[in-house]
Structure formats: structure tokens, C-alpha cells
Amino acid sequence: MDPELKRTLDETHALARDNNRMLRAIRRHQWYGVIGSIIFWAVLVLAPLYLYQQYLQPFIAKFSATTGTSTSGPLGLPTSADLQKLINSFQGK
């Protein structure tokens, strides 16, 4: 084989290996970014729900117990029947 052709072939092979290494590193960092993004958004969505359950709900429960109203809707929100009872109690006074 011609020495010039062999040198060119070896150089091309080295460039291809280096390119493959860089592409694998890029793909690996891309996966880390996706996983990090999922964790970030999960924390951003779940943290307010956790903080509500831990700190705000006891105050709301205490307020509901003192006013005599109960929250029976989804997520502890009052239903339309509860709101109607509250309106009727204020209109009756």
C-alpha cells in the first residue's frame, strides 16, 4: 500500500473515532439534560402541593371547624351545594 494513502487512511480513521467519541458525549449530556428537566418540573409542580398539605391545609381546616362549614368537594374545595348553604345562611340573618 502506498505510504501516503495509508497515512490518509489512518488519519481518516482517527478522525472518525474522535467524531464518534464526541457524538456519544453529546448524546449522554442530552440525556442528562432531559432527566434534569423532568426532575426540575416535577419539583416545580409537586412542591406547592406538598407545601399546601403541610402548612396551609391545617389553617384552612381550623377555619372550617370554627365557621361550621365543611369542604366536601375535590381537593377540599367547596361544592356548589356548600356554597348555596353558605349563601342561604347569610340571607337568613
Total domains present in the chain:
1
Residue 68 structural domain: 3-92
Position 18 scores a pLDDT of: 97
pLDDT at 93 over 70: no
Would residue 79 be called left, alpha or beta, if left means φ above 0 and alpha means ψ between -120 and 50 degrees?
Answer: beta
Position 69 scores a pLDDT of: 55
DSSP, residue by residue, 31-53: HHHHHHHHHHHHHHHHHHHHHII
Position 37 scores a pLDDT of: 97
- Residue pLDDT, tens place only, 34-82: 999 999 999 999 999 998 888 888 777 776 665 555 556 676 677 788 7
- Residue pLDDT, tens place only, 5-14: 999 999 999 9
Interacting residues of 73 by C-beta distance below 8 A, sequence separation 6+: 79, 82
